[in-house]
């Protein structure tokens, strides 16, 4: 059986100015390959600057790779930096969800814009979809009339989740999306994510510095170091017997 998501030999460099006339290329990701099954969670850990957010952006289509491929359900959705614009199946949630929301739009208008832009649903169907999605993430229907500043931190993460889920994605990438929440709210959000996964078979890519969270909710683990995968396997196996020095150091913290 083919995996839901297959990442093959992704690489990414940035150009840096090194002096007035010369430029340097800085390789942020080198030859990244892994797979994610439907209904599973893959966690990515690594020191700061190891390339986790860069990888998240490539996966969600917010930036393009220099080389490599991303396949979803066996179909190529990105090949050497060229993205299939139709693909809305991988969505991302950021750490600072308030900053990623337009302060001048109510949540309902924001979700409606998203549906108008990406689907051909009529007004009635869009309204139904918004109501259903808000309920899915544990928000009230009336929350669609709220502006971002009217929500608490935990609620804002639910709004960000609603925005990610409104287009029925197959994979949600969470880049430190739970880090700023206080522990009880984080636990509630984790339970919500797990329930959604159970109910709908959603897959997650979880980027976090919280190792207990990684162990609690991920099935597979990728360890990044200076843009390279130094360890990849079942989470429990790696926690019990980390092979690389980098993983041993990260897990001992
Ligand atoms: N647009 C860019 N131009 C140049 N360099 C960049 C750019 N974006 C990221 N980088 C560099 O790529 C490297 C990886 O950055 P990235 O944000 O992916 O790290 P990270 O693993 O997410 O770190 P953290 O845990 O701190 O969030 C860093 O050295 C960063 O400076
Ligand atoms: Mg990051």
For 159-217, the pLDDT digits (tens) are 999 999 999 999 999 999 888 888 888 999 999 999 999 999 999 999 999 999 999 99
Residue 25 lies in a domain: yes
Residue 153 lies in a domain: no
Residue 179 lies in a domain: yes
Round to whole Å and give the CA distance between 173 and 206.
6
Residue 57 lies in a domain: yes
Identify the residue whose C-alpha is closest to ligand 1 atom 9: 54
Round to whole Å and give the CA distance between 240 and 134.
39
Overall residue count recorded for the chain in this entry: 253
Round to whole Å and give the CA distance between 150 and 162.
16
Q: How far is the CA of 170 from the centre of ligand 2 (A)?
A: 22
For 224-252, the pLDDT digits (tens) are 999 999 999 999 999 999 999 999 999 99
Among 245, 246, 175, smallest CA distance to 210 is for: 175
| pTM, 2 dp | 0.93
Q: Which atom of ligand 1 is nearest to the CA of 46?
A: 21
Residue 16 lies in a domain: yes
As a whole number of Å, the end-to-end CA separation of the chain is 37
CATH number at residue 192: 3.40.50.300
Residue 145 lies in a domain: no
Q: How many domains does the chain have?
A: 1
Residue 180 lies in a domain: yes
DSSP state letters, 158-225: HHHHHHHHTT--SEEEEESTTTTS-HHHHHHHHHHHHHHHHHH--EEEEE-S-HHHHHHH-SEEEEEE
Asked whether 14 lines ligand 1 (CB < 6 A), one says yes
Domain that holds residue 188: 5-100+171-252
Asked whether 53 lines ligand 1 (CB < 6 A), one says yes
Instruction: Give the pLDDT band of residue 84 (cuts 50, 70, 90).
Output: confident
Among the bound ligands, name the one nearest to the CA of residue 57.
Answer: 1
Among the bound ligands, name the one nearest to the CA of residue 14.
Answer: 1
Q: How far is the CA of 112 from the centre of ligand 2 (A)?
A: 29
Residue 217 lies in a domain: yes
Round to whole Å and give the CA distance between 147 and 2.
42
């Amino acid at each position: 059986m083919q995996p839901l998501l297959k990442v093959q030999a992704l690489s990414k460099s940035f150009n840096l100015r090194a002096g007035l006339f010369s430029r340097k290329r800085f390789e942020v990701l080198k030859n990244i390959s892994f797979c994610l099954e439907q209904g599973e969670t893959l966690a990515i850990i690594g020191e700061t600057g190891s390339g986790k957010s860069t990888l998240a952006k490539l996966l969600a289509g917010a930036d393009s790779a220099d080389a490599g491929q991303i396949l979803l359900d066996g179909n190529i959705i990105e090949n050497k930096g060229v993205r299939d614009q139709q693909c809305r199946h991988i969505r991302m949630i950021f750490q600072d969800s308030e900053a990623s929301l337009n302060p001048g739009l109510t949540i309902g208008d924001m979700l409606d814009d998203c549906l108008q832009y990406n689907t051909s649903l009529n007004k009635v169907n869009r309204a139904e979809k918004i109501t259903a999605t808000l309920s899915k993430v544990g928000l009230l229907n009336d929350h669609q009339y709220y502006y971002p500043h009217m929500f608490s931190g935990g609620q804002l993460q639910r709004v960000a989740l609603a925005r990610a889920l409104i287009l029925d994605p197959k994979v949600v990438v969470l880049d430190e999306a739970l880090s700023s929440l206080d522990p009880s709210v984080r636990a509630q959000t984790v339970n919500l994510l797990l329930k959604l996964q159970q109910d709908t078979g959603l897959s997650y890519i979880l980027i976090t510095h919280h190792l207990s969270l990684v162990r609690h909710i991920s099935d597979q683990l990728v360890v990044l170091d200076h843009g390279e995968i130094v360890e990849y396997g079942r989470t429990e196996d790696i926690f019990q017997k980390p092979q690389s020095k980098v993983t041993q150091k990260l897990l001992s913290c």
